[in-house]
Amino acid sequence: MKFRNIILILAVTCLAACNFGSTSEPSRFYALNTPDVQQVRGPAKPINVVIENVSVPQSVDRPQIVIKQSDSNMLIVSEFDRWVEGLGTALPITISENMNMYAKNINARPGRNAAISSNAKYIISIDFVRFDTQIDGNITLSAWWTISNNHGDILAQKKTTQTTKTPDEKSGRPDYDAIVAAQSKLIAKLSYKIIDVVSELK
């Protein structure tokens, strides 16, 4: 019995020694940004807009950044390249900031509580049906979006699909920094399309 315990202790000590001093690869965190844009004329009077009910596919709704292998249905989930915050949280903030930078007299905010929504003239819901990034292919964002008034009446409903070339790999691995920057530009273009429609509503 004592002999067996000695063997177990030696085995555990050996494993600990093998792992001692080894370091895992550090995680890298990325955030969506709001590209600079030339501000355009918006509505004649200031308008409060709330961005709420933003949804993304479950396949990408995770801390890790997900990309798709070329000519394959296989997804690559990077353990070391992660979002600084979940897309469900980041997208309403990013979209509202894009709108504020783009159009005058627009006061857009993420709908974090009922009080904010009740004070808004327009409420925007966005359902991303695609949020795809394919290696050696394209980044594709496709979303259904709805503009409603604060009484729940739907004033506009459209679908927007936008693509751009996936940045080339860097040092033998996907260039995640460039990928996130390209995704941010597509999200900004979607934001501008939506607020253009808001500005035309009476």
**Per-residue pLDDT tens digits for 53-109:** 899 999 999 999 999 987 778 999 999 999 999 999 999 999 999 999 999 999 999
What is the domain-level CATH number for residue 44?
A: 3.40.50.10610
Helix (H) or strand (E) holding 196: helix 176-200
What is the dihedral sign for C-alpha 84, 85, 91, 96? negative
- pTM given for the model: 0.85
Number of domains in the chain: 1
pLDDT digits (tens, 9 = 90+) for 17-62: 444 454 678 899 999 999 999 999 888 899 999 998 899 999 999 9
How confident is the model at residue 186, as a pLDDT? 98
Residue 19 domain boundaries = 2-200
CA pair distance 76, 73, nearest whole angstrom: 10
Q: Which of 188, 167, 170, 163 is nearest to 178 (CA)?
A: 167
pLDDT digits (tens, 9 = 90+) for 128-175: 999 999 998 999 999 999 999 988 999 999 999 999 999 998 887 899
Helix, strand and coil in the chain, % to nearest 5: 30, 35, 35
